Structure 1
Amino acid sequence: MLAAAALLFSVGSSSRKIGAVRNLLSCAALTKALQRRSERAAIMNTLQFHMPVRIIPERGRPVTEIYEVEEALAFLQNRTEGLESPLYQKALNCCFDAIIDLEATADARAAFTAYARVAGILARDSTQPAIAFANEAGTPIGTGIPH
């Protein structure tokens, strides 16, 4: 890009040169902004659940769908009941770990789903397996078995 700017200064009028340099700089800035946006989108997609977890946070309220790790984490952090539960702690830790890329998104989803089921907030129409497995090795969530 600097070579293109130098070439522009060697030819043409000064006002034309300034306009051309501004165009080059704005194009470069736009390209960088688009790259950053694309990178953020890629990160967000990796934190998205393959299928939303459907919960009913309070009796008599409509179903809420949790689509990604950050939503699950926000829900868990705002929770006032069941905070001492080992499944709550497992779900919270898995969500934190998934955000910093220490845990797979599928593991965070499985831990959140297991907590929701035990807490009685998992929607009945939710198409979840009877037993949630956290990882590819098949270690059940909340068993205390490290994976």
Structure 2
Amino acid sequence: MKISELKQTLAGLKAINFRLPDGTALPPHFHVTEVGLVTKHFIDCGGTERRETVANFQLWEAGDYDHRLAPQKFLHILDLSARILGQEDLDIEVEYQQATIGKFGLVFDGQNFQLTPKQTACLAQDACGIPDAAFALPQLQMAGCTPGGGCC
């Protein structure tokens, strides 16, 4: 989800609900504790220099059971953060505390904001020398299993 999509969605809502990838609802008294610009500048395993920039929202909840974040308040927070985020329509990454800080993508399903899993990947697959099949099914390749082989 991009910032523009979030703003458009919030404008039409009466309440905000977030769900984890497993369907569990975040408590209704969550807070948006941070809105930030995160830039990752790195070199992949093939030697290519890369930059990724996202708008990062941190969701948090505590014992403040009377707190509810209204869509209008969230829009106000986004307006205040424009001087940090700039004018680019960035992808959104959401952080939420679990056993450790989890990073998620974000989609809207018509009723709820869904936190979506993020996965690691090799960005230089052609430079690694690993067969394409290993990228598609790493757990089968590493275990030595084959489809129909009876080991899985």
- Using structure 2 for the length normalisation, give the TM-score: 0.26
State which structure, 1 or 2, has the greater radius of gyration over its C-alpha atoms.
Answer: 1
Which structure features the higher share of strand residues? 2
- Using structure 1 for the length normalisation, give the TM-score: 0.27
